[in-house]
Chain A
Amino acid sequence: MKGGFSAPGDYIYFKSQVPLHKIPIGSKQWRYYDFGPKVVPPLICLPGTAGTADVYYKQIMSLSMKGYRVISVDIPRVWNHHEWIQAFEKFLDAIDVHHQKLVDMPNILAASCLPSSILFSFELAGNIVLLLTSISIFDSVGLTPSFLLKRYVLTGIRDGPLEPFIADSVDFVVSQVETLSRDDLASRLSLTVDAASVGPLMLSDSSITIMDTNDFCAIPQQLKDQVTERYPGARQAYLKSGGDFPFLSRPDEVNLHLQLHLRRVGVEAHVPSIPKDDVGGSSSDQNDRRRGTDDAPEDDRTDYSGPSGPTTTSEPPLVPEGQDSGNFENQLLNNAYLSSIIIGECLVPLMLQAILENRQTIAASNAVLNFTCELEMAVERGNNHSSLKIHVVVVKKDDVSETFITHEKSSGV
């Protein structure tokens, strides 16, 4: 990695501006970025199996400059969905996201597939932004040496000549995977193969954005189709190209879609009169914010690197099954199985399941965040893997509780 990859300049700048937090919570070590105005409901980015919190640096840079708060986390070392969800809840408590009274309607935003990125935006009940990641399937992870694990994690990423920006995005992700320890890798793969079913989502399709690239990707088309069929009313934000990691290769477009999504679900950017938390802190920020990325040289720099939306690194689906969300059966996700039996031998087992439970929300509105995706794992001859990343972002909001209830009723019938 030393020889083949040198960190991009904007990443170096990012590292110099945005503090990396490392804290132990419970028995888990957390590594994350939390940047942008704290008064704004956060967009939480969860990386897929191939990636770290750093893969979303372009989103963190750009969106924070525009007045949004972005949190990007590394998946802690957990071994199943249940553990992952519990750990995540503790994390949210620890960083005080739960305690903002805004909650009740979480907006889940962004899902991404590892190899390709599918961004789902959901409106959830909760204050949190969750990011779910990609999944890969393997026969066994237990004793596999780390170099093999790395290869698994990166399975599906296309070889061969690539457009420069896409090639750079792959290089960056690979360099991030290189930083993972063997245990981290094994944990992710375990999550990936940990089958779980997703309970119903209490979200209206209109609060979901699915982002995908229209060129090649490691995720089978059938699987993608199933995802979109599952959420027929979801906004489909296609990028013409971008490969597997559009948040790195097409940051400005991804960030644009993220902004639109955040607006749609009612998250307003907070533009301080004095740039404070923002990156770049120069006075020109404000102008730039207004004008968007168009001009301002400074912006260009940041924007260029910054604007990509939340990157999702691969994370295992959040929760296994059905935690309390029993009520929401009527919700869209009833059909909780995104099971994909892909024709031929391509069984792509994608099971993404995440259940987010927001305790406060529950207490307050009786609503539970439930997000589950199920991927069916398939093993095609021997060792096969497929991966699907889903990023879910949940944002806390005010006023949401009402909306939330409405959804509940309507879906409940």
Chain B
Amino acid sequence: MPSRRRALLKVIILGDSGYVNKKFSNQYKATIGADFLTKEVQFEDRLFTLQIWDTAGQERFQSLGVAFYRGADCCVLVYDVNVMKSFDNLNNWREEFLIQASPSDPENFPFVVIGNKIDVDGGNSRVVSEKKARAWCASKGNIPYFETSAKEGTNVEDAFQVIAKNALKSGEEEEIYLPDTVDVASSSQQRSTGCEC
């Protein structure tokens, strides 16, 4: 019965840049500011549903609380290669995520870093070099790194493949928590005969 269910992977996108995927932004309504999108991804002959939450860097999303962090399988950190501050903030976003989501194994939680908007101004306004970005990723436990142009969709699909793969890794390790069963039925039943009301 439930075996037919498709795996569901929850991906959170954080960062000052936002909007990794142009398809995303089109689906947003300005009044919402942030939302989620579902995307089907095929990986090794299996179909997965990615539930992608993009904060678009908006504070308003914070008001939604921790619920949207919960159960995340992968976190995508996005910065704008043309804005140094967005790169500097990556660390803050990463820590924010680890605090909010509190994954069981923070050291090995799958992150992906995306340098966005590489196409702006033909790359002339770029201030964060790929080398620098990769160095930061390496220092944080070899986080996979991609450079994309959300506008043209460059590398976005590749990035999502890796996101799915990494999310999958952590998703499969997750197991439903079933506490050990303690059978108290017999004793409680006996007791209940007397003082129940």
Interface residues of A (CB under 8 A from B): 2-3, 161, 163-164, 214-217, 220-221, 235-238, 240-241, 252-253, 255-256, 259-260, 263-264, 266, 289-294, 303, 307
Contacts and interface: CB of A to CB of B under 8 A. Distances in A.
B197 A214 contact: no
A292 B196 contact: no
Between B63, B100, B179, the greatest number of chain A beta carbons within 10 A of the residue's beta carbon is seen for B63
A256 B65 contact: yes
B65 A161 contact: no
B5 interface: yes
A252 B35 contact: no
Given A240-B71, A252-B67, A255-B67, A3 B196 contact: yes
Interface string B3-38: 011101010000000000000000001011001101
A221 B63 CA distance: 34
Nearest to B181: A161
A256 B51 CA distance: 14
B122 interface: no
A3 B2 contact: no
B38 A292 contact: no
Contacts of B51: 238
A264 B32 contact: yes
B70 A221 contact: no
Contacts of B35: 260, 264
B31 A307 contact: no
Contacts of A303: 65
Given A215-B2, A294-B100, A240 B8 contact: yes
25 contacts: A2-B196, A3-B189, A163-B177, A164-B179, A214-B8, A216-B2, A220-B1, A221-B1, A221-B2, A221-B5, A236-B38, A238-B38, A238-B49, A241-B176, A252-B70, A253-B67, A253-B70, A255-B67, A256-B64, A256-B65, A264-B32, A266-B31, A289-B63, A292-B63, A307-B67
Contacts of B177: 163
Interface string B123-150: 0000000000000000000000000000
Given A161-B178, A240-B71, 14 more contacts: A3-B188, A163-B178, A214-B6, A215-B176, A216-B1, A221-B4, A235-B38, A238-B49, A256-B68, A263-B29, A263-B32, A293-B67, A303-B65, A307-B67
Contacts of B64: 256, 259-260, 292
Contact of B10 (A240, A260, A289, A307): A240
A292 B1 contact: no
Contacts of B189: 3
Contacts of B67: 252-253, 255-256, 293, 307
Contacts of B32: 260, 263-264
The 8 closest A-B pairs by CB, nearest first: A292-B65, A293-B65, A252-B67, A256-B67, A216-B2, A3-B192, A214-B8, A292-B63
A188 to B, nearest CB: 25
A289 B64 CA distance: 9
A292 B66 contact: yes
Contacts of A260: 32, 35-36, 64
B62 interface: yes
A264 B177 CA distance: 34
Contacts of A291: 62-63, 65
A164 B179 CA distance: 8
Contacts of B29: 263-264
A321 B131 CA distance: 65
A161 B2 CA distance: 16
Contacts of B2: 215-217, 221
A237 B70 CA distance: 14
A259 B62 CA distance: 13
A170 B136 CA distance: 48
Contacts of A253: 67, 70
B14 to A, nearest CB: 15
Given A3-B188, A3-B192, A252 B66 contact: yes
B8 A238 contact: yes
Between B10, B29, B67, B178, the greatest number of chain A beta carbons within 10 A of the residue's beta carbon is seen for B67
Interface in B144-197: 176-179, 181, 188-189, 192, 196-197
Nearest to B8: A214
Contacts of A255: 67
Contacts of B188: 3
Nearest to A66: B63
